[in-house]
Amino acid sequence: MTLWSGQSPHKEALINYEFLVWRRTGGEAGAYIGSARVLLIVVLAATLLSSGSPDEKHISIYSNVANYSLPVLQRKGVDYVGLLELLEPLGTVSSTTSRDHWRIRYNNAESEFIAGKTRATIRGTGFGLPAAFLLENGRGLVPLSCLSGLLPSILGGPVSFNQAAGRLFIGNVAVHFTAQVSQTAPPRLVMNFTSPVNPSISTEPGKLRMVFSHEPLVAPGSRSLTFDSKVIPSASFQESNGAAEVIVTGTVPLMATFSNDGRTITISTPQTAVAQAPPQPAASAPPAPTPVPPAAAAPAQTPPAVSSNRRFFVVVDASHGGDERGAALSDQIAEKDVTLAFARRLRQEFEARDLPTLLLRDGDVTLTLDQRASTANASGAAIYVSVHATSQGTGVRLYTALTPPAGQDHGIFLDWDSAQNKFLEASSLAATGVAAELRNQQISVRTLVAPLRPLNNLNRAAIAIEVAPPGSDVTQLNSGAYQGLIASAVALGVSDIRTQLQAAAK
């Protein structure tokens, strides 16, 4: 079983729950040892386990306690699910096996099932199953189609089960969303969710696909949405195999950005993502070469759009976030929170100097390193600035990439792992400029190279800033004055060399 966090859909704690279940029932199964029937089952089970299908069917369960998924098992053409595994995350559960009788106790409710029979007793009341109950090595399997009737009796509350989609909602847990296209030029699709979401995002020509595996997202009024926009004409909602999917169609490449702590997703063209920033003098530039991410990684954005009117702007990346906390700087301070606060302050300082800024993470959301690199590469920014924080040492460390051995580039498509190679000079220039300004502000600074992703995946000047406290007091990392001093120096350093960076980006 895959168990997700209860309250926050961002957290994905993968637990091999099957193992726990099999251990728990091992004592009862032991009663059968010696019988040829069990040996046969063991041999057959071993054979089946070793030939597992990669396209396993799943059911997702959403509740106030936990969100998780379970494998669906097919027996004689009927879909089954393990009842103990299903109930385990929801409350206190125990089961006992006596010959063909399987008793399960959930909190104070007792139920009894008989192997091969379609009659069961739930809380002392008879219950008809649509297919026979199965007992496999002490593991009780119930037909999937009975869950909408069976679970309310056991749990004592309402459930909503979409069997075709493999999605089970226990209680009032649904996440709703609205979608609206803003009439800006070019338009943006703004999707607001009632709870934070963290879908996996992929793009294909004409489509941006968001898969919500962990969130109890439900369809809006209509599964098909149309918008009064030629750029983003429609979106659709689908559900299957325990996941919901929103597909946005577009006539131009689209990218998604998160805000409002993961409650808002804005779909736009890469240029629109920075359109909120003050307009800058136009500069003509060809598209930067595009690094190709590894096939296994799902890039969050499309390749960079060709822009003949590129403006100078900065991408600031608050490292970590969501279920990735980064370093524990103290008992109370997590690195992800300091980096976000500092990144916001950096944006403020950049924009105060007329340097439009795109914040890659503007909330407590999880972004993979590939997603960060893809977004930054697609944005067309002149420089990428990653923010880290540490409790060790003092002052500021500035890093440029230590790239791995170069792979093979194919035309404008750069090797993903060594994409930064052609931009190292620009990155060093940026680091030197920023270091000079930090020193002017009497801030201790050190410039280093480091094997720090995603610096090596970026096709533009890229630096990382690791901020340490000014002295021994770690809480100073949260000091507005300290953050402001560093952010101001960094912004000034970048601003001073913007002409060179712009030239390097061409």
Partner 1 sequence: MIPRHLIIGIVVMLVVALAMGLYVLHMRGTAGRAETTAAAVQPVAPPVSGPTEQVTLYVAYDADGSLRTQLIRIPLPAGRQERAQELLRALLSIYLGNASPHPLGPDSEVRDVYLVDPGLAVIDLNGAFAQGHRSGVLVEELTIFSLAETLSANIPGITRVKILVEGKETESLAGHVDLTNFYDTATMAQAVRELQAGQ
Smallest gap, in angstroms, from Cβ of residue 449 to partner 1? 5
Tell me how far apart the alpha carbons of residues 485 and 294 are, in angstroms, rounded to a whole number. Answer: 38
Site string for partner 1, 377-396 (x = CB under 8 A): -----------x-xxxx---
Tell me how far apart the alpha carbons of residues 302 and 159 are, in angstroms, rounded to a whole number. Answer: 39
**Options 23, 33, 34, 36; binder of partner 1; rule CB under 8 A:** 36
Nearer to partner 1, 107 or 394 (CB): 394
Residue 226's Cα: distance from chain center in Å?
27
Q: Does 330 bind partner 1 (CB under 8 A)?
A: no
Q: How many other C-beta atoms are found inside a 10 Å radius of the C-beta of residue 149? A: 15
Q: Does 335 bind partner 1 (CB under 8 A)?
A: yes
**Options 453, 476, 482, 484; binder of partner 1; rule CB under 8 A:** 453
> How many chain residues interact with partner 1 (CB under 8 A)?
37
Site string for partner 1, 458-497 (x = CB under 8 A): ------x-x-------------------------------
Distances (CA, A) of 339 to 89, 265, 323, 402, 461: 34, 21, 14, 22, 20
Smallest gap, in angstroms, from Cβ of residue 474 to partner 1? 12
Q: Does 43 bind partner 1 (CB under 8 A)?
A: yes
Q: Does 451 bind partner 1 (CB under 8 A)?
A: yes
Nearer to partner 1, 398 or 505 (CB): 398
Site string for partner 1, 63-102 (x = CB under 8 A): ----------------------------------------
Q: Does 40 bind partner 1 (CB under 8 A)?
A: yes
Q: Establish how many alpha carbons lie within 13 A of residue 436's alpha carbon, considering only the half-sphere containing its beta carbon.
A: 12
**Options 344, 347, 361, 397; binder of partner 1; rule CB under 8 A:** 397
Give the footprint of partner 1 on residues 417-436 (CB under 8 A): 417
Nearer to partner 1, 239 or 337 (CB): 337
Smallest gap, in angstroms, from Cβ of residue 461 to partner 1? 18
Q: Does 35 bind partner 1 (CB under 8 A)?
A: no
Cβ atoms of 238 and 405 closer than 8 Å:
no
Distances (CA, A) of 257 to 152, 272, 352, 404: 39, 11, 22, 29
Residue 138's Cα: distance from chain center in Å?
36
Nearer to partner 1, 179 or 431 (CB): 431
Tell me how far apart the alpha carbons of residues 223 and 448 are, in angstroms, rounded to a whole number. Answer: 52
Q: Interface with partner 1 by CB under 8 A: which range of 54-62, 141-149, 219-227, 327-335? A: 327-335
Q: Does 13 bind partner 1 (CB under 8 A)?
A: no
Smallest gap, in angstroms, from Cβ of residue 412 to partner 1? 23
Smallest gap, in angstroms, from Cβ of residue 418 to partner 1? 9
Q: Does 404 bind partner 1 (CB under 8 A)?
A: yes
Strand residues in 123-228 grouped as ranges (E): 125-128, 134-136, 139-143, 159-162, 167-170, 177-182, 188-193, 200-204, 207-212, 224-226
Cβ atoms of 26 and 18 closer than 8 Å:
no
**Nearest to residue 437, comparing CAs of 358, 323, 353, 334?**
353
Give the H/E segment covering residue 386: strand 383-389
Supply 291's token pair: 């690094």
Q: Does 361 bind partner 1 (CB under 8 A)?
A: no
Q: Does 48 bind partner 1 (CB under 8 A)?
A: no
**Nearest to residue 387, comparing CAs of 469, 463, 273?**
463
- Whose tokens are 């190709």? That residue is 292
**Options 13, 31, 46, 306; binder of partner 1; rule CB under 8 A:** 46
Order of all β-strands in the sheet with 78-82: 73-75, 78-82, 139-143, 134-136
Radius of gyration of the chain, Cα coordinates, nearest whole angstrom: 27
| CB proximity list for 386: less than 8 A, separation 6 or greater | 317, 319, 452, 454, 455, 462, 463, 464, 465
**Options 77, 279, 281, 405; binder of partner 1; rule CB under 8 A:** 405
Nearer to partner 1, 85 or 466 (CB): 466
Supply 97's token pair: 């096996």
Q: Does 364 bind partner 1 (CB under 8 A)?
A: no
The contact set with partner 1 (CB under 8 A) reads 36, 39-40, 42-43, 46, 320, 324, 326-328, 335, 369, 388, 390-393, 397, 399, 402-405, 417, 444, 446-453, 456, 464, 466
